[in-house]
Structure 1
Amino acid sequence: MARRSDHTRDELTKLILDSAFNLVSKSGYTQVSTRKIAAEIGYTVGTLYNVFTNLDDIFIHVNARIIDMLLNRLKAVIDQEAVPEKSIYLLAEEYLKFSREDYNLWNILFEYRFSNKQILPNWYTNKIAELFDLLEGVISGIVSNKTSDIKSTTAIIWAGIHGICSLGTKGKLARIKLDNPEVLVKQFINGVIANLN
């Protein structure tokens, strides 16, 4: 087993987060514990608690990394398609793709429940806001009625896309004979946009 002096605090932080991220990606967050992370990096659980407060704290940092990944993917979509009416569909497709390709990473963002005592740091909530700001920017380019509440519209579109995505990844759409999330998302976006303009 490695000794604490083998790595600096920054190196330990990276080791812990890399291990947690990889474990979540491979097995899902329900299979991750501080013991598993410690065993993976060759340190004691106590060492983890010298760097992070608890598993929630570790997962906040893992989620931040996942949000950055998702932001990069979504920004790449916007960079290749400047027309908002087209990019909204491409963003939705990329979001669906992310949930399928990296289900365990996508799942921890929305399914893991932090304890009531866990305070989310501002830098983390700012990252979440950045995701919404990205979508809001696209939607504001679509809406011709400038009196529309863009924030509410963004929340509605995101909730609809996410809901369809969530049902699709869990196989729930097939139960009601709707097993093509892409088609449902397009129909949903069409309906919302038609009501806005």
Structure 2
Amino acid sequence: MVEGHKHMAEVGFARFSAREVAKRIGYSIGTLYNVFGTLDQLLIAINTRTFQLWADHVREQLQAAPGDRIGCLVEAYFSFARANANSWNAIYDHHLPPDVTLSDEQNALRGGLTQIIVDEVAATLPSSVRPGAPRLARSLIAVVHGHCVFELNGSFALMGLDRPVGLALDRVWEALIHAGATPRRG
């Protein structure tokens, strides 16, 4: 899996080759498919590893966060995407066929990242609205993701906008304050 992830990080989704992964680990392509079943399952495993590395990155950033943990989450989202652009983009470039699903284990591993965000969002909210934290957190992920994509693909620069992290953080705090949070900027 490590070599598959390295290959994805080097070449990106469009140029990814299962044959190259097999070559790197000393397997035949047939053996690789015997292990993973299909190219989709290999890509799922690689992308799940990216989610795990991303969650580790977020946890590390939060451990060092002195104040605004929400700001830390947004910064960590962008910093991981910038540092791992090919692997990060592969998560969103790989579209599963309708008959392919993630295993419960894969879903749990991928969901670890979202749970970190849900927990941090919930911590900013009054107890009376905390039950809505999972829904709000997922919506905020979409907001930050959109800003991150626009930064990485150059759209913000074309629009003459700078500070995409700051813009994303402003939108996140607006939503959190609307939901009842008190800003804890650091």
TM-score norm. by structure 1 comes to 0.84
Q: What is the match of residue 107 of structure 2?
A: 125
1:193 maps onto 2:176 in alignment: yes
Corresponding residue pairs, total: 179
Q: What is the match of residue 74 of structure 1?
A: 58
Deviation (angstroms), 1:82: 6.8
Higher relative contact order, chain-length normalized (CA < 8 Å, sep 6+): 2
For structure 1, the 5+ residue unaligned runs are 1-16
1:165 maps onto 2:148 in alignment: yes
Superposed, 1:3-152 pairs within 5 Å as: 17-81=1-65, 86-144=68-126, 146-147=128-129, 149-152=132-135
Distance 2:66 2:122 in 1: 13
Summarize deviations over 1:10-67 as a string: whole Å, max 9, x none.
Answer: xxxxxxx222111100010211122222233343211112211111111111112111
Asked if 2 retains the 8 angstrom alpha-carbon contact of 1:135 and 1:154, the reply is yes
Summarize deviations over 1:106-137 as a string: whole Å, max 9, x none.
Answer: 11112211222222111111122221111111
Distance 1:128 1:68 in 2: 7
**Following superposition, which runs of at least 4 residues in structure 1 exceed 4 angstroms of deviation?**
none
Distance 1:128 1:18 in 2: 17
TM-score norm. by structure 2 comes to 0.88
Summarize deviations over 1:68-90 as a string: whole Å, max 9, x none.
Answer: 1111111122223375xx11111
Distance 1:147 1:49 in 2: 47
Task: Select 1:153's aligned residue among 136, 143, 151.
Answer: 136
For structure 2, the 5+ residue unaligned runs are 181-186
Moved more, 155-164 or 107-116: 107-116
Distance 2:30 2:91 in 1: 26
1:178 maps onto 2:135 in alignment: no
Larger C-alpha radius of gyration, 1 or 2? 1
Summarize deviations over 1:139-197 as a string: whole Å, max 9, x none.
Answer: 11111262351122111111100110011111111222113211211211221122122
Asked if 2 retains the 8 angstrom alpha-carbon contact of 1:77 and 1:87, the reply is no
